[in-house]
Structure 1
């Protein structure tokens, strides 16, 4: 297979016993940026 293959979009972080709001926000922003540039397969 040649060329680009779209990746599946990961779920935003959730759960866990320790909540790190800043890390979760950063991860969600990274996922959003990757979505905007077309890294993930269309839903």
Structure 2
């Protein structure tokens, strides 16, 4: 779990944007986007 927090800490700008829009996000949508971003960054 803390690996996610570490990832998020590295991307605070993204977190601010996510927090602003989280209310309008479906949680599955959010997880899909988060997972996609992770995979892109790992490449």
TM-score range, shorter chain: 0.3 to 0.5
Higher relative contact order (CA 8 A, sep 6+): 1
* Greater radius of gyration (CA): 1
TM-score (norm 2): 0.47
TM-score (norm 1): 0.47
More helix by share: 2
